[in-house]
Amino acid sequence: MSKNGSEREFIFTLYQKENISILEKELNLKLAGIVLEPKYVGLKLDMYGIERESNAEVFVENVLSKSDTSHQTRLLRLIKSLNKGIVIYQAIGFKNKHIRELRNAVSGKEVNLFFVQINSDLIAPLQKLNSQIHKLKIFENLKVLNEIPNPIKLLEDISIIRPIKGDKVFNEKVDWDFSKRGDVNNYLLEQLRLRIPYYLPFQRHKSNIDTLRLLQFGGGKSGISLVLSINSRNRALVELRFSENSPVIYHAIKEKEQIARDRIGKELMFIDGKHTIAFHFTPYPDVRETVDRLVTITERFIQAFSNFTYYYDKREMWEQHKNGL
C-alpha cells in the first residue's frame, strides 16, 4: 500500500490491471475478476482476482521498495487466514529474513507463493505520474510505463509453486436484477469505470455495496467527497460535499456559479449551509436511463471542478486540464 499520501503503488497496481497480460505471462496464470484495494480479513489488499484454471483466489501485495516490516506483517496475517490460494508479493527486492518467514508461513498449506521483482526503472516514471501529472491525466499516461522493458520478473528459485485446486469460479455479470440495491450500485459503478476510467477513485473497490444508499468517493483534497445515488428519497443525485476544513474551495467555486450552471445544467445548486454543490433529478422508470444521465452529470462535475478540488493551491497544474472552470 502507498505511504505518506503517495499514490505510486496504486498507480502501479492500476497499470498492472490495465495490462494484466504482463502479469499473466510472467507468472503463467490466467486471471479474471480483478479488483483493486478490496478488504479481506480486515486488510486492504492491493489487488484481488481469481485464477481461471485452478479456481484459486489470488492476492497481490505491492511495495515499490525492498520488502519491509509493514508489508511483511500484513502478508503473514493474510497467509495465516488462508487454507488455499495464490499470494503474489511484488517488490524491488526481498530481504532474506522476509523470504524465510513467508516460505515457512505457507508450509503445509495449499498456498502458492510468488516472489516477483519489480524493475527499479519503473520508479522514476511512477514518481512523475504521481507528482507531476494532473490527476485526471494519469490514466491516459499509464502507457509511459510500457516504455520500460521487463517490468517484472518472477523469482522462481525462491517462490513456491505447486498444483493447487481452489473452489472460486469467476462468472462475469451479464444479467442485472435492478430490484436489488447491490445490482443497481454495481451497474452504476461499472458504467462509471467504463465511461470515466480516468477518475481514479472509481477504480477502487467499494465495500458493502449491496447495502449502500449513497456511493461516496474521494473528491480531491482531504475533506471533499463526491456522492452519488440512483435513488435517495426519490432523487437521483450527484453532490460534491466540502467538510468544515475546506469551505474556502467551495466558496471559490461558487464565484463561478453561473458558468458552472451553464456547463452542468440549470438544476445545479449551491447549498451554502452544507457547503455542497448538488444536482438532483427525478429517477426515470428505466434504471439504465437514470444511470446514463447520472454518469453524464458526474463527468461534468469532474471536468468542471477537479482543478479546484485537487489543485486549489497549485494553479500551475491547471494548465494540464483546460476544461475546468
Q: Is residue 248 part of a domain?
A: yes
Are 194 and 300 found together in one domain? Answer: yes
Q: Would you say the C-alpha torsion 256, 222, 38, 181 has a positive or negative sign? A: negative
What CATH number does residue 85 fall under?
Answer: 3.40.1350.10
Q: Is there a domain that residue 162 lies in?
A: no
Q: Answer for the pair 240, 309: CB distance below 8 angstroms, yes or no.
A: yes
Say how many C-beta atoms besides its own lie within 10 A of residue 31's C-beta.
22
Which position has the grid cell 489470488? 58
Q: What is the pTM of this model?
A: 0.93
Residues 77, 114, single domain; the answer is yes
Residues 93/158, Cβ–Cβ less than 8 Å:
no
In this prediction, the residues of the chain whose per-residue pLDDT falls under 50 are 1-5
Which residues span the domain enclosing 125? 8-154
Q: How confident is the model over 41-58, as pLDDT tens digits?
A: 889 999 999 999 999 999
Domain identity same for 201 and 309: yes
Cα–Cα distance for residue pair 74/88, rounded to 1 Å: 13
For 171-211, how does the pLDDT look when each residue is reduced to its tens digit (9 = 90+)? Answer: 887 789 999 999 999 999 999 999 999 999 999 999 899 99
Same domain, 308 and 193: yes
**Residues 205, 87 share a domain:** no
Give the total number of structural domains in the chain.
2
CATH value at residue 268: 3.30.1460
Answer yes or no: is 164 within a domain. Answer: no
Examine the domain organization and report whether 21 and 91 are in the same domain: yes
If you search the block for the grid coordinates 456547463, which residue do you land on?
263
Q: Is residue 275 part of a domain?
A: yes
Same-domain check for residues 316 and 251: yes
How far, in Å, are 60, 93, 112, 241 from residue 156 at the CA level? Answer: 17, 14, 12, 49
